[in-house]
Amino acid sequence: MKLTIQEVAKAVHALEVTTVDKEMTLTGAEFDSRKITEGDLFVPLKGARDGHEFVNAAIANGAVATLWAKDNGAIPKDFSAIIVEDVLVAFQQLAKYFLEKIRPTVVGITGSNGKTTTKDMTAAVLSASFKTYKTQGNHNNEIGLPYTILSMPEDTEKLVLEMGMDHEGDLHLLSTLAQPEIAAITLIGESHLEYFGTREKIAQGKMEIVDGLKEDGILIVPADEPLLVPLTEKLHQEVVRFGLEKSADVYATIKKEAKGHVDFTLSFLEGEFRIPVPGAYNVRNALVAALIAKRLGMSDEKIREALATVELTKNRTQWLKNSKGVEILSDVYNANPTAMGLVLDSFSKMPTKGRRVAVLGDMLELGDKSGSLHRSMALHLFPDEIERVYLYGSEMLKLTEVIKDMYPVGTLRYYNKTEKLDEKNELIKDLKEELKPEDMVLLKASNGMGLSEVVLALMEK
């Protein structure tokens, strides 16, 4: 992002700006003060804690301005504060302004889950011909999507946005913000993370992706979702139904499935295609990616080349199932208190026949508020929802102290990690012994805690 303070103030309808130099250029926007670099705008959102509390950390890291909710206490002296009614709304308005300034073609994709995503494959294919930027990690909600937009390079031509859906109204907001030229619903799914109750409700929720779809835009939907297809009938935008059956508007035909690749044809492109990953699921992803690429002007040949070399990265957040039948939600590469609280809340509500088990490791680099931020996770842990808790790391000892009287004897375990002593192997051993088929396990920590080793150990035969 490259915007002047003046531009930001105008875009967010600032009530007031406390600054000396409104021509000063801002080079990025961050809501996590740990990620601020020189020249950035700080965006104090309400997470587990109120971001306004951390403005000094942001300044120390090089922030040159901040958004600031009106009547929010003392504004740091000699610092540019852009005063607004609501910081989240301002952040979204700013993203919208930046999008209109850069004007990439926007592709909005929802419904991705599983190991690889249509979003990644689409971005991989488009990258062969265009300057393409895509949603990183899980930045797909009302905060993550504006963040993605504001993080795109100035020369972005195609922007592939993942649009996440947890509640009714989510996709309405994301779609009207980003106003995609192409929108794709990859599947209805029965994802653990959706609280819609019924598949009908999920289908309705997914259809909100058309709320911001351009008049001359295209909606891509699975042909084999009887709940979805009727909802597309009254749209004035073009609707393309995809699948593996000839009755779909566009379809793939699998020719050969091998261990490491699949060969297939596509009804709308010449010749045969290969993806260097197995599975019919990935052929559906590839079909959507190829369709989008074709509509955006790529040649059949270019699409073929791009698909043949797509590299799929593992999702950072993954559902796994081990040989014992334990379901594992692995989210072990980064952590902040907000995200940990949110994932614990949704995990607590997920239906399961077995027990819910949480394995939580330290969140790193939280400075002198670290103790209280770890302790605050007690607000998200209740023995009748999450029956067993394994805490790992020196900061998590503070959380252990807060919840130990609430958790019955034997249901809360603590493992230390210091320079001298690392009890990770005990943690692994106990988990392997104590987990039962049908249990559901959440693992979450900062990357530096190395919980990925625990995930690997649980996945061993």
Site for ligand 2GN, rule CB under 6 A: 31-34, 45, 47-49, 51, 54, 56-57, 138-139, 141, 143-144, 147, 336-339, 342, 366-369, 373
Nearer to ligand 2GN, 147 or 251 (CB): 147
With the CA atoms of 154, 300, 237 and 157 taken in that order, what torsion angle do they form, in degrees rounded to the nearest 10? Answer: 0
Nearer to ligand 2GN, 282 or 376 (CB): 376
Minimum distance from residue 416 beta carbon to ligand 2GN (Å): 22
Query: In which residue are the tokens 């939907």 written?
Result: 221
Encode burial over 91-108: b for 16+ CB neighbours within 10 A, e otherwise.
bbbbbbbbbeebebbbbb
Minimum distance from residue 336 beta carbon to ligand 2GN (Å): 4
The three-state secondary structure class of 214 is coil
Minimum distance from residue 421 beta carbon to ligand 2GN (Å): 25
Nearer to ligand 2GN, 147 or 273 (CB): 147
> Could you write out the three-class secondary structure of 14-66?
CCEEECCCCCCEECEEECCHHHCCCCEEECCCECCCEHHHHHHHHHHCCCCEE
Residues 6+ apart with CB under 8 A from 198: none
Kindly give the pairing relationship between strand 262-266 and strand 440-444. Answer: unpaired
Indicate the DSSP class of residue 458: H
Minimum distance from residue 53 beta carbon to ligand 2GN (Å): 7
Nearer to ligand 2GN, 129 or 346 (CB): 346
Minimum distance from residue 337 beta carbon to ligand 2GN (Å): 5
Minimum distance from residue 62 beta carbon to ligand 2GN (Å): 14
Nearer to ligand 2GN, 78 or 368 (CB): 368
The three-state secondary structure class of 445 is coil
Nearer to ligand 2GN, 339 or 412 (CB): 339
Residue 197 tokens read as 């109750």
Nearer to ligand 2GN, 322 or 446 (CB): 446
Minimum distance from residue 291 beta carbon to ligand 2GN (Å): 27
Strands (E), 45-157: 65-69, 80-84, 105-110, 132-134
Residue 106 contacts residue 177 (beta carbons within 8 Å): no
